[in-house]
Amino acid sequence: MTKLQANPITTEIIRNAFNSIAEDMNAALIRSAYTPIIYEGKDCAVALLDEDGEVLGQSLGLPLFLGNLSLCVQIVAEMHGWDYFNEGDVVFLNDSYIAGTHLNDVTVIVPIFWNNKRVGFATSRAHWLDVGAKDAGQSTDSHEIYQEGMRWAPTKAYAAGKPQQEILTFLKLNSRFGDALLGDLHAQIAAGKTGEQRFSALLDRFGIETVLAARDDIFRQSAEMERESIRAIPDGIYKAEGALDNDGLSKEPVPVKLTISVNGDKMAVDLAGSSEQTRGAVNCGETQTISATRVAFKLLINPQRPVDGGTFTSLDVLAPENSIFNAREPAACSWYFSSLGLLIDLFVKALSPVMPQAVAAAHYGDSMVLILSGYDKSKNDELFVSIEANTGGWGAWSEGDGQDCLINNVNGSFRDYPIEVYEHRYPVRIMKYGIREDSGGPGKHRGGNGSYREYHLTNDANMSLWFERAHTTAWGLEGGHAGKAPEVNVISPDNTEKSLMKTNAMPLKAGTIILTKTGGGGGYGDPAERDATQIAKDIENSHVSESFAKEFYGGVG
């Protein structure tokens, strides 16, 4: 068979192939993953990289991991040289100051060899349920990374095809769910092997010269397009700021500030003025700050084009040292994503005056996590840990209402865990789950509503909570109002009630009721301009109550 030559058609076929290889890898990971947070929550990402660690194709469960795997491989190569990677190796790492995220996120790198030459990397990242933090799953009150679990610099789980038994045993023994942990590691290895096989087949089919020529074309196209899109934004300095409620330990708000400068075909994002690294766990490594800024960038610049090694070449990120966005040892990083979620929203806000056709008002803002753990009496005191994120309201925009009950911006394919499956697994009964009326911000287009849930404990449990964004609620745009803040109430069996947003491993008795409410999205435009039929429809469906409509819209029509 003759080899196909590089031309626009071949380039397009190869570009499609890069992305479908990544999708195949992701499918392999999701299918064989052990814990729900990966297969239901899709708290994972995969990428096929070239020999320099640049992205050929990627598939994301979690947008927040955008472009991060590429950075990880390049950092490992900087540390140990490219020859560190041998055929048959499986390298993993989770150090927050390298990978940028919390220790639960484990990056696995499988170098791809073809005809005895290293030609690329099949990489993945997934959230492991338990990596031996001081509390089951994750702690919300950690103040040093040493409390957050095992910390791994790049380490070989397999070397030249041989399992490193001591390492695997160590991993298993230091997790409360050692079997699940090894299951998830194997799922990531399966994803890596899939990438390796598919990429080798592609090279067999087209030859390496053609594939590399196509890659160069693709990268060049992406970089050109990006420059063109940035040129369309007026040159200038754009700023926005907000604050997290607190760091989980103190009561002080944690400021986040960003300054975007657009200059011709370049964009720089400076995070100066944001908080110094905090005692509580809202810090992250620089790598993850770059990833989050890329997510924000992608929301506004060519959102539909797949990411590759040519993307983000016009974007610079400056994260001051020792800040929450570029933390140093021993900063705790467990809840790193709250700072980053706010950063993304503020990026959109800063550019909203000059990109009205692309932006939306703010969304409810954070993952709104509830963790319940304990020993299940109905299952011979077996340990259980449930971790859930909650959906909330999204922001309205120039043409439409914000959506009710959707997962937040740093997540993506994250799906609610079905209640019927949840109750099989955990000694908790969910008695209500619904749309929180009146929580979306009023406007010509209203913000989406948040959700509420009511949990009844049928067993003693420890509760950890991480609810955010009461300080900086979802703001509106162009006269639209802000959405409501989140709220959590705990009602003990003796009927004492407590309101709280963050707590760590709080012991609760069977019979306790937990009521969670997530925030709404921001509205867009003056509520007085809202269409009467839309107001009537909202009232008919109780998305908005009559009294709320009267207060903000002057009643029905």
Pick between residue 75 and residue 136 the one whose CB is nearest to other proteins: 136
For other proteins, the closer of residues 128 and 397 by Cβ is 397
Burial 262-280 (b: 16+ CB within 10 A, else e): beebebebbbeebbebbbb
Q: Which of 13, 354, 536, 556 binds other proteins (CB under 8 A)?
A: 13
Among 216, 241, 316, 416, which residue sits at the site for other proteins (rule: CB under 8 A)?
Answer: 416
Please give the angle made by the CA atoms of 325, 329 and 330, to the nearest 5 degrees. Answer: 105
**Which residue, 32 or 259, has its beta carbon nearer to other proteins?**
32
Q: Is the dihedral of CA 329, 334, 337, 339 positive or negative?
A: negative
Contacts of 1 (CB under 8 A, 6+ apart): none
Residue 354 binds other proteins (CB under 8 A) = no
Q: How many other β-carbons are positioned within 10 Å of the β-carbon of residue 155?
A: 16
Which part of the chain contacts other proteins (CB under 8 A), choosing from 130-138, 332-340, 388-396, 548-556? Answer: 388-396
- In whole angstroms, what is the distance from residue 356 CA to residue 360 CA? 8
One residue of 420, 495, 496, 499 binding other proteins per CB under 8 A: 420
Residue 380 or 496 having the CB closest to other proteins: 380
Contact between 545 and other proteins per CB under 8 A: no
Segment interacting with other proteins (CB under 8 A) among 82-90, 97-105, 418-426, 494-502: 418-426
40 contacts other proteins (rule: CB under 8 A): yes
Structure tokens at 486: 């989140």
* Residue of 213, 435, 477, 482 that binds other proteins (CB under 8 A): 435
* Element spanning 267, H or E: strand 266-270
Residues 180-199 that bind other proteins (CB under 8 A): 180, 182-183, 186-187, 189-190, 193-194
Restricting to residues 195-254, name those near other proteins by CB under 8 A: 221, 225
418 or 555: CB nearest other proteins = 418
Instruction: Give the tokens for residue 166.
Output: 């001591």
CB of 517 to other proteins, least distance (A): 13
CA distance 442 to 435: 16
Window of 99-107, 118-126, 148-156, 299-307 that interacts with other proteins by CB under 8 A: 299-307
Footprint of other proteins on 93-112 (CB under 8 A)? none
In this chain, which of 90, 244, 405, 508 binds other proteins, going by CB under 8 A? 405
Cβ proximity to other proteins, 148 vs 401, nearer residue: 401
> CA 411, 97, 27, 167: dihedral to nearest 10 degrees?
-140
Residues 133/135/141/145 CA torsion (nearest 10 deg): -10
Instruction: Find the shortest distance in angstroms from Cβ 317 to other proteins.
Output: 18
Inter-residue contact 295 to 409 (CB < 8 Å): yes
Range 336-368 burial, b when 16+ CB lie within 10 A, else e: bbbbbbbbbbbbbbbbbebbeebbbbbbbbbbb
Region 120-179 residues binding other proteins, contact defined as CB under 8 A: 179
- 178 by Cβ neighbours in 10 Å (0-12 / 13-18 / 19+) ranks as middle
Residue 24 interacting with other proteins (CB under 8 A): yes
Q: What amino acid occupies position 412?
A: G
Q: Does 415 engage in binding with other proteins (CB under 8 A)?
A: yes
Per DSSP, helices labelled H in 34-146 are 36-39, 68-80, 96-99
User: Which one of 2-10, 76-84, 157-165, 270-278 is the stretch in contact with other proteins (CB under 8 A)?
Assistant: 2-10
Interaction between residue 355 and other proteins (CB under 8 A): no
C-alpha to C-alpha distances, 29 to 39, 57, 364, nearest whole angstrom: 8, 16, 30
The minimum distance between CB 42 and other proteins, in angstroms, equals 8
Kindly state the smallest distance separating residue 155's Cβ from other proteins, in Å: 20
